[in-house]
Structure 1
Amino acid sequence: MKLVVFGGGKGQSALLKGLKLIDELEISAIVTVADDGGSTGRLREEFSIPAMGDIRNVMLSLAESENLLSQMMNYRFESTSRSSLAGHNLGNLIFTALADTSGDFMGAISQLSEVLNVKGRIIPASTELITLCARMTDGTIVRGESNIPMYDNAIDKVYYDVPVSATEEAITAIEEADVILMGVGSIYTSILPNLIIPEIYDAVHKSTAKKIYYCNAMTQAGETDGFSGEDHVNALIKHTDVNIDVVVYAIDTIPEDVRLRYVQERSFPVSFLSEDHTYKIVKQEALTFEDNIIRHDPMKIKNGFAKVLEVAGCPLVAK
């Protein structure tokens, strides 16, 4: 079964860590390159290459096994240091070196994927230097993915203010997909930056693949304040007009001390307010609370995915 996974950030990586354990899946991860913050943003500006941070995270999540190189690629130089390397991620530096010396962003992905023995394909949504913009409900325009959650405002729309082209590899993967999965991750700054690229938008619309969305477990301050589950889905539909077949919703009980920690960050559990939808909802335990951080649990994702596919009408059949 050919599976395309849209996203970026740690949420997409958590899903992929579980999905890669299912032998019957042929995975293509389409990853946003709109990130402009932190180490990624600094390297993007200095070397004029697309953002690589989310690609690095996805690459490590799909690696066959954790080895010394994968551990080193996650190393981050102390941000308190006076060194020019302060705050940089070693994996980002390695990736930048490969891309800069070869002049080939896609080639750098292929080379590192081979070294790390990655299961599946990692495809940037675009290889252009792109800047995500947001129009707030009061008309304010914000430029830059990292700036968008910083405004105490509600997002009306995210978009690019210049033409953006998708990679051919992304379009081919969508055209061949049996299932298209969106999530988990920031709806406006991880998932939609892929889907609003016109060629990807068109390809997803034409695709007969089943469309599945893994809904966020918590709201995100500055991005989805006060959002219900329906609001998350509606944001996707508003920007893409895509028909969602199945939404996966985590029903794990969040420990009280963890919940209170997130309250301090203005982040609250997401709930669905109705049982009447155009899409089917699959309710599953899907979370982990290790180190008091709420994340999707790779093993729970793996164990629950067959049920998700069954509800979507495309049951997983072993080869």
Structure 2
Amino acid sequence: MDYRNPAECLSLLQSLQPEKVDETHALLSTIIGTLLDALPAPNQHFEVLEAARPTIARVQAELGRRYADHPLPPDNEENATLMHVVGLWHNLARSYTQIARQDAQTGTLEDQRALLSQRRIHCTGQMLVEYFRAHRALPAGLWTEIHEGFAAAEATGLVRARVSDPLNPLWKAQSAMEAYISILLIELSNPFGRSGRELRWICRWAQRFAPYCSLEPDTEGRKPTVYGLDLGADHGLRPLGLLRKSDGVRGFDGSKLANQIQAVFTQFKQGVSPASLGLGDDCPLDTSARLLVSLYRPWGLASAGRKFPRRGSDGKVDLCGDWLAIGFHIQGRLFE
């Protein structure tokens, strides 16, 4: 099997058995990684990625169940699984980036520039989601990579252009801007404090509500508690008052989303089911309402601010890890 040949890869994709998760994931990783190094024609490479993407999403979700909702020791099997899942998303994002860069010279995929931007941002954002699912700290540079994808989409002038996306359960379409905002909303939701089920809903709802938010370069006159972001920083949204003024600063506006969430609450009171509102068939009304209440302020309003301000300080802490020394420290004499 020549994994450097896009035609052979397409043929192999048709014979994959997604229920064999480990085997399928290994083959997909090999295909994506080999093509990334082989530099095939951009249009052929693009065709393989689009054909593989739904299956990739399916097997990635299945593998993610092995580590979701609990912390991972650094050397266990689940941690290795996390690294494999993140690695495949990363290679997929890099592949879309490479295709866009290669095709800039030939223009064979000129009509797919908006889609390439959206796919790049979505795949990079999935890396972040996997770390949230595993309750692991984000690696340095991940937010920078996400911001770079958005900045590249802005440069095309097509950042708001919607493209077909079968992985978007409600709209079946998404723009690069909406993909980016979805990631920002997930990070605002206190993801490390959510259960696995809640985080799945939040990821779905972030896509559902992203079209009601916007990012604008004009931040003049906005309150310092309103959220914004710096495309040159390695983090997500922060209160504007904490950001340095620069050309990379964008103001986040969730006011329309706040109105949309209020409308959802009104329909809940009228007995409308969450499923009919695009929230999902697996969401009970009471549980959905409680979760949505917790998201209302961060998503639709602004940062709450701290009740008590932090003050810088310094000091010295003594640490001791030897049992005999600990006993001596506590009792003032040798431990017996």
The bucket for the TM-score relative to the shorter chain is: under 0.3
TM-score normalised by the chain length of structure 1? 0.28
Greater share of helix: 2
Q: Please identify which structure carries the higher strand content.
A: 1
Task: Tell me which of the two structures has the higher relative contact order, counting C-alpha pairs closer than 8 angstroms and 6 or more residues apart.
Answer: 1
Q: Rg bigger for which structure?
A: 2
